[in-house]
Structure 1
Amino acid sequence: MSMLTRAVPLLLVLALTAFSLGAAEAAPGETAPAQAQAATSIPFGFTLGDAQQPTTSHVAKLGSDIAFPPGTFDGALGGLTNTVPISGKLTIPPADGYFVAFRFMATTGRVEIIPDGDATGMATVKTGKDTNCKATQTNICADTDVTAKVFIKLSDAKVDGKTLDVGPNCRTAQPASVNIKALVPISLPAPPVKVTSTFTAPPFAGCVGHEDVSRLLTGLVSGPGNTFVSNLTLRCFSSGCKA
């Protein structure tokens, strides 16, 4: 790698640092120019999982895994200096799950992950060869700590091949809180980074068809020790992301 290529990330960090300091020295009551505020918001896009290694969620009580189609996490990083806010929209397509209830009863159902607002958190930007970042060309990483709050919705449930009417609004009464911590590269090209999170599934509510089966589903599914596992692959960063 040429000296010029290695110097680009450092120059970018230094430029943003100088810009941030200049904005902080504005007179009290002064508002930074709109373009200056926008410059500290850097868009990014990650892909979650792929056909070979899908995003999975392990349901502890049922001892079963749900494999989801590839999803996305698109948002913005609040700059490239120090510790900055990070937020984004998590999108995971629905998936069909197979479970064995009560250790003998074959159960199938469609599982949908519904975000409760944006995922938010903080990221510490790190540069240099001591970051343990697996970027292939430049050592620029973000040590991220992000929490996504999501409802878990169930539909098309069948038990031993017979329809279990859960109604159209069967989901957890409160959102589950999924915390994701990872050191991710923010320069391209970048290899995937495996992330694992453990979360508690809240009780279900609104599972009313011919009768209310919310308590039944709560007993089967809800509780601690569930896991969320995915490979995060950087898809775009900064000017490479579509508006």
Structure 2
Amino acid sequence: MKRSVQLSVTESSSDEPRWEATLRPKDVKRDASSGEHHAGGGTGKTMRDHLLDTLKNLRKGELKEFKSKLTDLELEEGYDHIPRGHLENTEPVEILDLLVKHYGNDYAVKVTTMVLEAINQRDLAERLRSAGSRGEGLSSGGPSGARGGGFRCFVDRYREQLIQRVTAVDCILDKLHGSVLSGEQYQWVRSGSTNPEKMRKLYELVPSWDTACKNQLYQELKATHRHLVDELERQ
């Protein structure tokens, strides 16, 4: 049985057709972009979405095992473990925030993958690794990291340049107050008479900071001096 569609166009003032055409199925090409299913990439998900989906795929016992392994996994030099107490009674969204806060975007993905493999969740690890290989970024959260070592290395590596060139020091101190700096430390750093002096005082405190604190400083530097950070990271 042949299938076809006949179309005709008429003028509004006449019933006589002005143009006729017969269409067969093979004459019509479907726009690939109009399909309901997408093959391959283009899922619209960020790496943050993939990380969260991965954590949500763990059952209660598996999530507990994940958190336990996360606190004793061997990390790259310059990174600290998330304190065990911070992970107690945490749900996937909270775990994701802790991962990004402590390790930054890229290393958070790597750490998650290593933990999954260590607890025999290799399918989830491979799925996450595949998403990462497609170059999908995290839409929010920690930094993507300076070239050659992440935000922690950035804060340490560019100490002199940041001391000399950061101008919005008071704004940064206001953001760090309460979460990174105590009230006494905040007042002490602000007592500097110039911006470089304030930055030197701030750097005197940096050696005692953990990864999360350096991450927060990096974030505030990006928020207030984006062009400077980009310039240094390109070096």
Structure having the higher helix fraction is 2
Which TM-score applies when normalising by structure 2?
0.26
Which has more radius of gyration? 2
Which TM-score applies when normalising by structure 1?
0.26
